[in-house]
Chains A and B, each alone.
Chain A
Amino acid sequence: MKTVNKPVRKKDAMQLLTGQPVYTDDIAPANCLIVKLLRSPHASALVRKIRKDIALKVPGIEAIYTWEDIPQDQRRFTLAGQTYPEASPYDRLLLDRRVRYVGDPVAIVAGADEKCVDRALSLIKVEYEVLEPVLDFRKALDYPVLVHPEENWESLSRVGADNRRNLCAHDVSSEGDIDQVLSECDVVLDRVYHTKACQQTMMETFRTFCSIDAYGRLHVVSSTQIVFHCRRIIANALQIPKSMVRVSKPRIGGGFGAKQTAVSEIYPAFVTWKTKKPSKIVFSREESMTASTPRHEMEMHVRIGAMKDGHIRGIDLYTLSNTGAYGEHGPTTVGLSGHKSIPLYGRTEAFRFVSDVVYTNVMSAGAYRGYGATQGLFAVESAVNELATELHMDPVSLREKNIVREGDVMPAYYGQINTSCALDRCLARVKEMIRWEEKYPAKDMGNGRVRSVGMGMAMQGSGISGVDVGSATLKLGDEGTYCLVIGAADMGTGCDTILAQIAAEVLECEMEDITVFGADTDASPYDSGSYASSTTYVTGKAVEQCAYKLRQKICHLGAELLACKDEQVEFDGKTVRMMNRIADTGTSGSKEEEKPQNREAERSVSLKEIATASMCGNEISLEASYTHSSPISPPPFMVGAAEIEVDLLTGEVSVLDYAAVVDCGTPVNPNLARVQAEGGIVQGIGMALTENITYDDKGRVLENSLMQYKIPTRTDIGNIRVEFESSYEEAGPFGAKSIGEVVINTPLPAIADAVYNATGLRFYELPITPEQIAMGIARRKKQQDERVNSATGKITVR
């Protein structure tokens, strides 16, 4: 391959690195009204009265909207960027008289500048009827207080939702008799794990600007992963026809799933639609941390059974997921906690996976890289690590015995066949990279410091099978260059470049010859958007097929110019030429044959000439479109191992080294695949060690800034080493599967197990803080000392 599997530079790299104005707020018109939201200080309340008259008098204020401006009986909607009919319930209004979390919008204020808007916000007087909130997600189901008591709450898909029970979704799936199988096992581990509502924390917060176009339509420019879903969501929220909405995205400053939900779009859209004036909203970091769409908090109850020889025979998982005040991505994320963790163990005879998703009065959760799989893999992989201890087996050997292999049917993965899988090679290579044999489980460094290792495995999907749609349009333009038009969203991941690489491979051209345009609902072919690890695999396949289609068209026009049949020509990326063999026996035997040079010239036509000819007296379109959807979602696989050092006295953990091997099929761009993996691993390290979420008794998130919510800095991590062991996925473009999400999952169980190997303490909740470690050790020491006082005992601190 010439372009695919090559580490080419991202097409926009130098523009980004030299700071060009290419993001939403850089290109927003200067005369935009500034839009800000007044937010509820209560977790649950009814707005009894709201007075805006004084605020409206602030010079520069254009408009203030409250629930009184929104018909409360209109059809509700969801902000989740999902294919219609969405699994997420329709449970939102643009402004609701009932506020359901600290941060829920109460009023929209638009004015000439930030100062006047801030002033107006402080002058709006709201009288609340404060209600009892539902704050404990473990008690939310069938709690006497309802988060969504309203009549017009609606669930479009059959996900087992019931707003009268605070239930956003419920599901059961199983294969075999799990209770029977577990009863036959030598060892059954029964454990409960807990992960929190961690934040995507993309560097660019949510932001959108809107204007009215020449046709009176609403043009929304937003930092979004989902232009097409956004169009529907905005039309739903504003109750206007979808044809009146155009959504486009510029460069995006990171997404990680956060921007798979229309967090900011509907507010300026409403303002501009009402006032017909351009407007913009830029979320503060605090708003991004407290009124957005974080990971679903989940509690996972795992029962895993194995025989003494290490054969894992069954996994039983119950997941309770907290969707918060609204149901965005609630019914779907939870599924991954089981369907993308249990199938890793291919030798099981039975599984059961039951899930409940509940409403509570905290910020609504949403999509975050890993999308439920992260949570489920922490639980299942941690359970497997503990099982290894119980069985006195090395966790690597235990996995070697049990992992899913290529060709296996995966009952817990919707019965799909494991079409491409190098998990075994990933495992073997990680073991070498981290020098597992030498380092497992731990080494005492003296002075209270211990070094240890731990590992975890992961899988994800590549798009949503049978649902996600990827499309591409390719056009041949002047001078024989191409324009690739997509509806997928490059959010920094480099998909513009990756998709261009796929096109360049098929079209046999240089990367420079392809311009990428996207994404814009008016101009792009339909694409579900960039989420669910779909872009390389689903849209990539569409690009590949689209390029083949365009080749045919080029050949067609080329053949016409050469006055021969399509079958008689071939295209090498630069020239369409009549194939000699056919030419010799062909119809064009003429007088020029005695002049070989002329003959050659006559029998080929350059791409440039074809492009020029296409623009004069031509009826052959040199434009192709292709739409693709995949009936399967081939999982990428990954194994990661962490080496850490723990200070047993202070409890501080340093990640010294992280070795990871990924099977993403063919890495279309090894550089970008590697950086995806490194970035995902560091997010996983953050989730394991420093990214905490706590609420006060009013339901307020305390980690509301980058000062309080600690994502890793470059001093918090050691070396990250990533390698690839590629399988070849026949259904993907050039053998590719996804990589974007799978990479976040392994650090959670790997670090938790490394902490165990260093300290002898098992942690079932993340993040694992220095305090928990130090005090856990101190408490154990105290207990041991007490025991020693009464009897002679051996003290071992692992």
Chain B
Amino acid sequence: MLININLNGKNVRSEADPDLLLIDWVRAQGCYSVKRGCETSNCGLCTVFLEDKPVLSCSVLAVRADGKRVVTLEGIQEEGAEFGAFIADQGAEQCGFCNPGLVMNALALFRENPNPSEEEIREYLAGNLCRCSGYEGQMRGIRAYLEWKYGKSHMENEG
């Protein structure tokens, strides 16, 4: 089938089998940040934005994204790097394989809720597995980023 997806701001027309998954389609377009960590929709590594919402690209048919906007980390490098730097400052990126999915979903969280509580952060990112960091360093990075981005008073409700 011929599909037309707006990928990272550019319209990409391509042929796609009906059962081609979006993850394989975006990787074929060179968006290698999108990783596969499971076959059961559990790991969150393949997170992309579909019409601005974070979704698991391993569970979306490419043909279903026809006519829609898809954003991968390749499309928001600056925003990703701005936030990522705070994870780097904790050494919490570790092996890095889960990083793109985490960065995407964290950015989705911040767009949806710039002032999340500790519990809201944990819950929003619960579907982003990480086996290296134990999450604690990621959480420190997220808090430091929010403090930097929105100011100290912002996080005061955290105590």
Task: Spell out A's residues near B (CB within 8 Å).
Answer: 7, 9-10, 12-23, 26, 200-205, 251-256, 284-286, 491-494, 669, 671-672, 674-675, 677-683, 705-707, 711, 713-715, 717, 719-720
Q: Which of B59-67, B82-90, B151-159 contacts A (4 or more CB under 8 A)?
A: B82-90
How large, as a class, is the contact surface on chain B? 35 or more
Known A-B contacts A680-B134, A715-B126; A17 and B95 likewise in contact (beta carbons under 8 Å): no
The answer on a CB contact under 8 Å between B91 and A17 is no
- Which listed residue (B33, B131, B134, B138) contacts A203, Cβ 8 A? B131
Task: Spell out B's residues near A (CB within 8 Å).
Answer: 32-35, 37-43, 45, 72-74, 77, 80-81, 84-85, 87-100, 103, 122-123, 125-139
Known A-B contacts A285-B37, A714-B126; A202 and B77 likewise in contact (beta carbons under 8 Å): no
Closest Cβ–Cβ distance, residue B73 to chain A (whole Å) = 4
Q: Nearest B residue to A203 by beta-carbon distance?
A: B97
Q: Nearest A residue to B100 by beta-carbon distance?
A: A19
The answer on a CB contact under 8 Å between B137 and A714 is no
Cβ–Cβ < 8 Å partners of A713 in chain B: 126-127, 129
Closest Cβ–Cβ distance, residue B140 to chain A (whole Å) = 9
The answer on a CB contact under 8 Å between B39 and A705 is yes
The answer on a CB contact under 8 Å between B131 and A679 is yes
- Which listed residue (A252, A285, A494) contacts B91, Cβ 8 A? A494
Cβ–Cβ < 8 Å partners of A255 in chain B: 95
The answer on a CB contact under 8 Å between B134 and A678 is yes
Secondary structure dominating the interface of A: loop
Closest Cβ–Cβ distance, residue B24 to chain A (whole Å) = 9
Cβ–Cβ < 8 Å partners of A707 in chain B: 38, 40-42
Q: Nearest B residue to A254 by beta-carbon distance?
A: B95
Bound CA–CA A377/B122 (angstroms): 31
Q: Nearest B residue to A681 by beta-carbon distance?
A: B134
The answer on a CB contact under 8 Å between A18 and B80 is yes
Across chains A and B, which 8 residue pairs bring their CB atoms closest together, nearest first?
A: A19-B33, A492-B95, A16-B96, A253-B97, A17-B84, A678-B134, A671-B91, A21-B32
The answer on a CB contact under 8 Å between A285 and B103 is no
Closest Cβ–Cβ distance, residue B23 to chain A (whole Å) = 12
Cβ–Cβ < 8 Å partners of A256 in chain B: 131
Cβ–Cβ < 8 Å partners of A284 in chain B: 39
Cβ–Cβ < 8 Å partners of B43 in chain A: 203, 285, 706
23 A–B contacts, CB within 8 A, in A order:
A7-B91, A14-B84, A18-B33, A18-B77, A18-B80, A19-B33, A19-B34, A19-B73, A202-B97, A204-B97, A494-B91, A494-B94, A669-B91, A671-B91, A675-B91, A682-B136, A707-B41, A713-B126, A714-B126, A714-B135, A715-B122, A715-B126, A720-B136
The answer on a CB contact under 8 Å between A678 and B136 is yes
Cβ–Cβ < 8 Å partners of B90 in chain A: 671, 675
Cβ–Cβ < 8 Å partners of A204 in chain B: 35, 37, 95, 97
Known A-B contacts A19-B74, A26-B32; A492 and B91 likewise in contact (beta carbons under 8 Å): no
Secondary structure dominating the interface of B: loop
Bound CA–CA A309/B140 (angstroms): 44
Bound CA–CA A20/B84 (angstroms): 13
Q: Nearest A residue to B19 by beta-carbon distance?
A: A115
Q: Nearest A residue to B80 by beta-carbon distance?
A: A18
Bound CA–CA A494/B34 (angstroms): 22
Cβ–Cβ < 8 Å partners of A16 in chain B: 93, 95-96, 99
Closest Cβ–Cβ distance, residue B99 to chain A (whole Å) = 5
Closest Cβ–Cβ distance, residue A702 to chain B (whole Å) = 14
Cβ–Cβ < 8 Å partners of A14 in chain B: 81, 84-85, 88
Known A-B contacts A14-B81, A201-B131; A706 and B94 likewise in contact (beta carbons under 8 Å): no
Bound CA–CA A767/B56 (angstroms): 30
- Which listed residue (B40, B96, B97) contacts A705, Cβ 8 A? B40
Bound CA–CA A205/B132 (angstroms): 14
Cβ–Cβ < 8 Å partners of A201 in chain B: 131
- Which listed residue (B33, B40, B94, B125) contacts A675, Cβ 8 A? B94
Cβ–Cβ < 8 Å partners of B137 in chain A: 671, 674-675, 678
Cβ–Cβ < 8 Å partners of A10 in chain B: 88, 91, 93
The answer on a CB contact under 8 Å between A251 and B96 is yes
Known A-B contacts A19-B33, A680-B134, A706-B42; A252 and B95 likewise in contact (beta carbons under 8 Å): yes
Bound CA–CA A675/B136 (angstroms): 8
- Which listed residue (A202, A705, A719) contacts B131, Cβ 8 A? A202
Closest Cβ–Cβ distance, residue A397 to chain B (whole Å) = 30
- Which listed residue (B81, B132, B139) contacts A492, Cβ 8 A? B132
Closest Cβ–Cβ distance, residue A255 to chain B (whole Å) = 8
